[in-house]
Amino acid sequence: MKYRNQMPYTDAMVHEVQRFIDLVPNNIPHAMICNIKFRNYFIPKGTTILISLSSVLHDNKEFPNPEMFDPGYFLDRNGNFKKSDYFIPFS
């Protein structure tokens, strides 16, 4: 781990593998703890919801060609590793 910041391409590759294979496309079920309105939908307390991580991991705003394997999504212009808020392979 101490060399991780010296290996940005390896870090990017590991992140891209996890993004691309979409290992856990649906997260474990969650239950709403309170009533909530989300995007004009009312979700009552106690409702079980399943979250699709695929929609985030393959968002074309963050990953321009989401069907293409590209570790460059996780590298900046200088070749340094960059984090993405859209990278949530295990939620």
Which of helix, strand or coil describes residue 12? helix
- pTM for this prediction: 0.76
What is each CA distance from 15 to 62, 75, 81, in whole angstroms?
14, 11, 10
> What is residue 40's predicted lDDT score, i.e. its pLDDT?
93
State mean pLDDT over 30-57.
92
Average pLDDT, rounded, for the chain: 91
What is each CA distance from 35 to 39, 50, 56, 80, 84, in whole angstroms?
13, 16, 24, 42, 30
